[in-house]
A and B are shown apart, each in its own frame.
Chain A
């Protein structure tokens, strides 16, 4: 199947644009909802009105952010159909289910109790209100669970079989889809990154108050809650990040090699902690290092928990490596073409009621189905994802993640020693860390999504085959429309958010 490259690129650009915008707001919703729930719990437990004031202040900021998160989210659900219709059919039997469950289980929970959270202060009892706030937080994370299960399945398809009669993948084990190690790890890593971002946001905003010598009591209490929450969640973030790398090395080795800019496989592979790349522009997308700082054996350990483990490089994965049992992409392309051809033969045989022919085609299809998507590639080098983007994004994400751990420790220590307002350098760093948290979060998705190119479903369907057959011009136009609209809304969100931060908590909250 030939596809217009421009259509594929614009469709990808539109999805990337809408997903990046959406993800600017989701992590804060995920984390801030829990931070608010903790604060309100303290209020209900102690009866101290100041905690209610703090809760209502952060709730106001939560509401501003939540609205734009919802606005940018609806388009994503439907874009699978509007822009990736072939994909929607090919995996709808599996991918659609988590989306439906998300709607029934999570969205209603979130949207119902958010009304109580905002409008129920004078209408329902304290405890009912608190339960509602907790249910909003749980609902938000449950929403994330289902869409991340669906995303994990695209990275590591499992719990399904291909049905040649319907020409699609069909679910055979729901629990395998839900509890695949990639899904569990992806969910925990992604939500904990949201919790960390929200903690950095609360600490950053509170630091701004302390720098301005305003609302000091509120700021210190907020820093205390956020730094404890952030520190605990950072531990999860690091552990699940470590798990992600290992799963990637196992299930998406090309992505892993690209992320590390590793061309030739080696045992005792070192990890490049810091590196600067220079492009050679060859067909392998090879990048040389202008400079690098390595940690010996660490990449082998990170990938396979053994310092002398062999980590395959891009060359091995593209051209094959007999010694390590790696077959080349050219061989995979041949197998993929066999699978696609067998599907055609099967369908033809079914039409003419030739059972023997159909059975024989089915055997070939079964034997080669693992490489089905490779049959659509024309060049082995198309299987290499963008190197620079994934290499730098990974290092940026990890480096900033480690900085946030240190920030939480320093803030917690300072606030417990009652010296936080005196450490102005730390307060300034905390304020500067807010945009860095957003940057780290987006870089995580760049690693995950750019790193798996050219696949929309790992090994089974390339992005180019998944696209809806519409004109590139239509997609360009909607891209521009969404770019303008989302940018305007982002500016509005930023201005309102900063305005309410400047106003700060009043007696009845921020309003």
Chain B
């Protein structure tokens, strides 16, 4: 089945999978967003424990999706993996460090004998939530703004600035996407709490907080989107494969791939609809906000990945040497490897099915103080 597909078709198929994983990852960052809200919404130990437990039952999904995203990128586009991870060393190291300290925090926070103290682990969770979202957003924004690297004839790459990725945070467009992801993750977390927490005081505070998160989210998203649509982009000549700057490249991509353009619009509308409906008709709509804004997030991010990689565009451009820029064609694995992995990708629906099944089994009812007392394993 996959053997007969052209190399380009397989590259596109894998870019779609990467895009899907990336967009699901951004949705699942609600865990990180929630971690930054623990002290704002939880004013005493019981309230904080409720919030940490409702997030704690999902943190591994985000973590696993991040790991799979990295693994899938390595396998399908190894030149991106070697160039970006080996070059933007500090950005990735800080992101990884933030995830290292998250992984122990849920389990150890309330454990007896924990010599670092519960507060330390709450700080760890905050650091993970803030740095994880902002830096992942910043790193993905370089797909549109470029980075200073070169690739030699043996495809060995080299970062050409000594800051090794930290320079990305000085670019307004990168930073605006980082902050967009940060505030979006907090909005998603609030919507997730509305659906899964049954505690009046927490919910009351969360409802007020939603507006405070929505405004900066909109501001930063508009900055990023406006810059994206008006600025020049990294176009690839379909015949010569030479990379050049093209005015309004990403706007053109949306228009020239109308299906993607429509997905992008639907995504943005769903994100906003989930927020607005939750604010305006909370009693009836609060349970649905996470699914509306969540699915909108997935569609928007998915379409952003597609305009970064499709329609003769370099998805990881080099500002140092345009011809070192990476495309889905020059950075991918071989036809054979992509074919073999495509068969493995057929397992994805099965994986999604059991995740949904178990998610439902565990989240049958909203979390309350009483439920925590009954539960054998509490974070």
Contact = CB atoms under 8 A, between A and B. Distances in A.
Contact of B337 (A75, A93, A111, A119): A93
A6 interface: no
A463 interface: no
A491 B115 contact: yes
Interface residues of B, number: 75
Q: Which 4 A-B residue pairs are closest in the complex by CB-CB distance?
A: A85-B86, A92-B78, A81-B85, A499-B113
Contacts of A481: 97
Interface string A98-122: 0111111101111111111011111
B78 A347 contact: no
Contacts of B76: 96, 100
Contacts of B89: 82, 468, 470, 474
B61 interface: yes
Contacts of A103: 64, 67-68, 70-72
A360 interface: no
A64 to B, nearest CB: 6
Interface of A: 56, 60, 63-64, 66-68, 70-72, 74-75, 77-78, 80-89, 92-97, 99-105, 107-116, 118-124, 128, 132, 163, 166-168, 170-172, 174, 343, 347, 468-471, 474, 478, 481-482, 485, 488-489, 491-493, 495-500, 503, 508-509, 511
Contact of B159 (A74, A80, A469, A489): A469
A123 B75 contact: no
B170 interface: no
A470 B334 CA distance: 28
Nearest to A171: B337
Interface string B334-373: 1011001100110110010011001001101000000000
A82 B85 contact: yes
A345 B103 CA distance: 49
Given A80-B74, A118-B377, A482-B97, 12 more contacts: A78-B85, A85-B86, A88-B85, A96-B76, A97-B333, A103-B64, A104-B72, A112-B354, A124-B361, A168-B78, A474-B164, A495-B115
A485 B128 CA distance: 14
12 contacts: A81-B92, A85-B156, A87-B82, A89-B155, A92-B333, A97-B333, A110-B64, A112-B60, A120-B362, A167-B155, A492-B108, A496-B111
Contacts of B97: 481-482, 485
A485 B101 contact: yes
A101 B354 CA distance: 17
B87 interface: yes
A499 to B, nearest CB: 3
Contacts of B374: 122
Interface of B: 57, 60-61, 63-64, 66-68, 70-72, 74-76, 78-79, 81-87, 89-90, 92-93, 96-97, 99-104, 106-108, 111-116, 153-159, 162, 164, 333-334, 336-337, 340-341, 344-345, 347-348, 351, 354-355, 358, 361-362, 364, 374-378
Contacts of A478: 93
B123 to A, nearest CB: 13
Q: Give the most central of B76, B106, B107: most A CB within 10 Å.
A: B107
Contact of B82 (A92, A110, A499): A92
Contact of B71 (A83, A96, A498): A96
Contact of B103 (A74, A347, A470, A496): A74
Given A470-B164, A474-B164, A102 B108 contact: no
A101 to B, nearest CB: 5
B82 A81 contact: yes
A119 B115 CA distance: 25
Contacts of A64: 107-108, 111
A122 B375 contact: yes
Contacts of B354: 109, 112
Contacts of A470: 86-87, 89, 159, 164
Nearest to B103: A71
Contacts of A100: 68, 71-72, 74-76, 341, 344
Quick one: which of B90, B155, B354, B378 has the most chain A CB within 10 A?
B155
A67 B82 contact: no
B64 A97 contact: no
A104 B347 contact: yes
A343 to B, nearest CB: 8
A67 B112 CA distance: 15
Contacts of A489: 104
Contact of B99 (A74, A107, A110, A503): A74
Contacts of B344: 97, 100-101, 104-105
B159 A99 contact: no
Given A82-B86, A103-B64, A111-B64, A498 B336 contact: no
Nearest to B339: A174
Nearest to B115: A495
Contact of A112 (B106, B112, B348, B358): B358
A92 B156 contact: no
Contacts of A482: 97
A77 B63 CA distance: 13
Contacts of A168: 78, 155
A121 B113 CA distance: 25
Centre residue among B61, B92, B153, B358 by max chain A CB count within 10 A? B358
Contacts of B72: 100, 103-104
B101 A83 contact: no
Given A82-B89, A88-B78, A471 B63 contact: no
